[in-house]
Each structure stands twice: as structure tokens, then as C-alpha cells.
Structure 1
Amino acid sequence: MRVLVTGAAGYIGYAVGRRLVAAGHDVDGLVRRETGMRADAGLRRDADVPDGIRPVRGDLLDPDGLPEGPYDGVCHLAALTRVRESFDAPLRYFTANVQGTVNLLEAVDADRVVYGSTAAVYGTPERQPIPESEHTAPTSPYGASKLAAEQAVRYHARTGAIGAVVLRTFNVAGSVDGRADPDETRLIPKALAVAAGHEPHLEINGDGLAVREYLHVDDLAAAYVRALEAVRPGEERVYNVGSGAGAAVHEVVAAVEEVTGRPVPTLRRPARPEVPVLICDASAVRAELGWRPERSALPDVIACSWNALTRIRD
């Protein structure tokens, strides 16, 4: 298939594009910046896409500059993603995540769309692990903007114009091709930065008992490939994608210390309102697409993240 990946130079988009190429697809990667090599070290810049992908410059907020296609499919991963930041700039998040998605659907001729969404659409769920049937009630502008974009994609699919799959992910970690997660607002990258001596301590809100699950970015990328290959025009599907294995904050810190062999000093901060447990019920994507996480054991996720971080810093 001929496929367009939006956000192809980003953390998840890069991994998805890499998997699509490996599966034999013809892939264009939408990027907003120039790509190339760093002259000082001959290293690929962060804006680069994986080998085998044609970079296409464009901005989802400028629909006249988007590639028209035709494409057999689109994996839509370009988005703003920071929950706390979204409270300070809600209009920016709705513009990027909702209007950008609408522009994509209107401008690009494609038969299938796989949309990257988030567990933040559930807000404060009543059931654990969380099934796709759980009521959606986002508690942040980020989650609300992603849910609105989901709805645009799904309603568009109901017209028969496209086939659509929404993949709701929880916490993504790990690395491919030595590319570490660049977002140090997330727990694992921040804890590793402390272990590496680049930060003095890890701040923990409350008692460190909040439980989250972690999915390797390459396992998530494999789910995108399966979803794209499975959906047909006129269909719409929603899947949770996750490992289903939870770990408390203090357990993640202990695992980082075990894997790296280095201490991770912590600083306790007052508790913030947050859901105590977020665990994914991924039984539907397993049953219907035959997807299974293969690299998402917590020590393995941390080890490859650590290797990527130390390689970058060196």
C-alpha cells in the first residue's frame, strides 16, 4: 500500500513509519521541518524520518500545502500531547489536534485512516482494566481535543468515505534505532535522566503508588501496521492498545535503579488529583487483529531506553 504517516519524524511516528517500511509498504512521511544530517557528527537530526521513507514537508494547519495523494492509507500521529500544558493553552490544543485532523481528512485522498488517540479520553474511568466500552469523559483539554478528533474520523468513516481505526494508547516508552523518548515530562525518561546524572532528582507527586502500564513504542507501531492492513472503507473500529501490566511509580524507580545500576534520588511533592490506576484491556485488538506486545516487559523497556539515552549523550 501507499501510506502517508503524519508526524513521521516524531517519537511514535518514526517507529510506525519504520514498521510500515519493513512490512513492504510504500511510505511518505509528513514533516514540518527540513530533514538532513548533522554536519558536526554525521548523525541524523531529530527531524529525520526512517530509512526508506520519503519526507514530505507540510503543516496540517495549512491544508493547501498537504499532499493530495491518492493514498491507500494514512497513519495520523501528528498532535500536541502534553496534558498539563493543555490547561495553559487549550485553544492551541484544539486547533492542532481537531482542526489539523479535519484538514487532513478534507485535503488528503485516502481509503483508510488509523488515528492515534489516547487513554486520556476516558478521564476518570470506573472500571479497571479499561475496556473500549468505558464511558469517555476527558478531564483535560488534551483529552477532549483527542476525543473530538476521534469523533471527526469516525463520523467521516460512517459516510463510507474511509475505513477508520482509532488506537487508544496509555503510556508509551522504549526506543527504536537508538531514538530515546525526548519528553522528559514522562516518568521513565525523567527517571533515566536522573540516573544519568543530568537531573538532580526525580519529583514524585504524592506517595508514588499511582499505577500505570507501559507499552514499547515498537509494539505500538506493530499495532498500527495490523490496523491499517485490516480495515476496509466504511468500517470503523476502536481499540485500546497496551501491555495490561501495571507498575506503581516507586516500582518504576526501583526498576530504573536495577537496570542502570545507578541511584535515582527522589523528592516528594504534594499529591495532585489523578486517577490511581490506569490499566488497559487490550483483549479486542488481540482477538480481532492478532496483535500481541512482544517487547513491553518493564525491564526491557527501561534497558533499551537507557541504551538510547547514553548513546545520545555520549
Structure 2
Amino acid sequence: MRVLITGASGYLGQTVVHRLVAEGVAVTALEHFTRRRWPSAVQVRAGDLLRPAGLTEAVRDVDAVCHLAADTTVRQTSEHAAELQRQVITGGTGHLLAAMETEAERRGTPLALLNLSSSAVYGRGTGRPLGTTDAAEPRSPYGAAKLADEEAIGATAARGSIGAISLRLFNAAGRTPYGSTPNPVTLIPRAVAAASGRSPALTVNGDGSALRDFVHVRDVADAVAASLVRTVPGTHRVHNVGATPASVAEVLDEVGRAAGRTVPVRHRSADGMDTPHLVADTADTRVALGWDPVHSGLPRIVAEQFEAFSHDHNRS
């Protein structure tokens, strides 16, 4: 199987590239701005999801596409941000789907698509774990764009040119084997920085009771790999990817235990974009993909973030 990976240079993308190469999968990394040093087995193709002319050549002779590229500025709610999300996410995905349809027609066989979606499609969530049959009511431009992606993918699959799975990712965390870590503005990296005295007190919206779902990036890569061989032509299935529910307060307690000191915190009122309870029901994911998130314990994730922080500090 030849797999093209968009967003290959990102945190998850790098993990997926190495995961698939280790399995002997023929991997092609689609690069736009960033240039990485890839394993020798990785083929590199230049391409931009916003420039459809080059995408037809980028998907030529691939059997599957792993679509991980996205702009994750979830909290931006301005009219400008909404338009940017439509252009970058929805527009880019539309161009990719068109190129895949062209390639499927040329070859006479459907292609497989793994699409990275987001828990942001659910909006505020509910007081219980969310299943994929729960209503999608996004409250951010990012969530709305991801939901539009899912709908476009479903329409393309219905025409028979692809078989697709979308994974609604909750909060990816943890360190990769080659040192990559999540976005430094996410909760765990910020808490570690505050506990280490390298940043001011952590600002927490509300009382810390908001519940989130964390999953190790290596477990996410396992779900991606499992999905690529389980797509069915003409269908589009959606699964959640989460593993370890924890409140903000529980995360801060774990970071404090690892640091040997209390994380300094400054509380402020919750704003309209905050969600009190966003946790995944992954029962169908585990069954359908044969997936078991074995790396996602909160103590392990926090310990790895401290290791990464110490490594980066020693290099600076």
C-alpha cells in the first residue's frame, strides 16, 4: 500500500509517518513549507492543499491518503477567522477530494481516506461521554470547518470513488520517540512550564472542574494505522479517539506531584467558548478498529512532558 500523508511534518504527522514506515508501508510525505529529515524509505512530494493544480500529481499512484493537515486555532471566533478556517480546512479538503476522485477514475479503483476530524464538532458536549451518534453542534470556526469536511467526505464516498474513516480526535498529548511534543499552548505543556517556573502562573477559566479527554499521540497513530486498512469503498465511518478523562484540576494535581510543588494558578471566569464536559465514548472505536490505547495514562503523559521540557531547557 502506498499512503500519502498530508500534514506529515506536524506533531501527529511525524508520528504516523514513522509508525507506518516501521510496518513496511510505502509512505509519501506531502510537504508545503516545512522540510523534515525523513527515514530513507519515505518519498517526499511538494504540494499545497490550497493549490489544486498540483494535488492531482501528488495523489497519483497512491492507494490511500492520510489527511492530517489542519489549522487548529479553535478559539478564534471572528468573522476573519471563520473565513480563514473555511479556506484552509474546508477548501483544502475539497481540493484533496477532487484530486482523489480524479485518481480513482484514472485507475478505475476507489482510494482509501483517513481523515483527522476533531471533538470540536460536538460544541459544548454533555454531562456524559459523547458517542458519534450525538448531535454535532460546533461553536468555533474550526469545529464548523471540520464538520463540513466530514460532510464533504461522506458525499464523495457515496459516489463510490473513496472509502473513508474520520477520527474525531480529542486532546492528543505525550512525547513522540523522536522528541516532538504537543502545541505548547495546550493545557499540559502550559501547566508543566508554570510548575517549572519558566512561565507565569497558569490561567484557568472557571474552577478547574471542566473535564477533558487525553490520548497519547502514539495511541492516535495506532488508530490511524488501523483505520487505513479498514475503510470500505462507498462508505464513510466516524469514530472518536480519546482515552483518559481528567478534569483541569486533576491534571494540575498530577503535574504538581511530578514537579514536587503546587502549580501556580490564576483563576478567571469561564468564557462562552469553554466546554464543561467533553469526553469521548470510544466503545465502537475499540471494537471496529481493534484499538486499545495503552500509552495514555495521565502520569505517563505528564512525566514525558517534563522530560521534554527539561531537554528543551538544557538545549537553550
Task: Give the TM-score, by structure 2 length.
Answer: 0.90
- 1:69-218 to structure 2, matched below 5 A, reads 69-87=60-78, 89-108=81-100, 109=103, 111-126=111-126, 128-218=128-218
Change (3 A) 1:122 1:207: same
1:204 is paired with a residue whose SS is strand
- 1: CA distance between counterparts of 2:48 and 2:54? 7
Structure 2 gaps, min length 5? 105-110
Change (3 A) 1:50 1:216: farther
- 2: CA distance between counterparts of 1:124 and 1:285? 22
Change (3 A) 1:238 1:201: same
* 2:250 equivalent in structure 1: 251
Change (3 A) 1:193 1:79: same
Change (3 A) 1:247 1:16: same
How far has the Cα of 1:204 moved from its partner? 0.6
2:229 is paired with a residue whose SS is helix
Q: Give the AA of the match of 2:43.
A: R
* 1:279 equivalent in structure 2: 279
Task: Give the TM-score, by structure 1 length.
Answer: 0.91
- 2: CA distance between counterparts of 1:68 and 1:216? 29
Q: Percent identity?
A: 41
- 2: CA distance between counterparts of 1:85 and 1:205? 16
* 2:302 equivalent in structure 1: 302
- 2: CA distance between counterparts of 1:118 and 1:147? 8
How far has the Cα of 1:203 moved from its partner? 0.6
**1:63 lines up with 2:63 in the alignment:** no
* 2:238 equivalent in structure 1: 238
- 1: CA distance between counterparts of 2:39 and 2:205? 37
Change (3 A) 1:101 1:246: same
* 1:38 equivalent in structure 2: none
Deviation by residue 1:115-135 (Cα, 9 ceiling, x = unmatched): 000111111334611011001
- 2: CA distance between counterparts of 1:52 and 1:146? 31
How far has the Cα of 1:90 moved from its partner? 1.0
Deviation by residue 1:56-89 (Cα, 9 ceiling, x = unmatched): 2211001122313221111101011121135451
- 1: CA distance between counterparts of 2:39 and 2:136? 35
How far has the Cα of 1:262 moved from its partner? 4.5
1:136 is paired with a residue whose SS is coil
Aligned length: 302
- 2: CA distance between counterparts of 1:33 and 1:51? 20
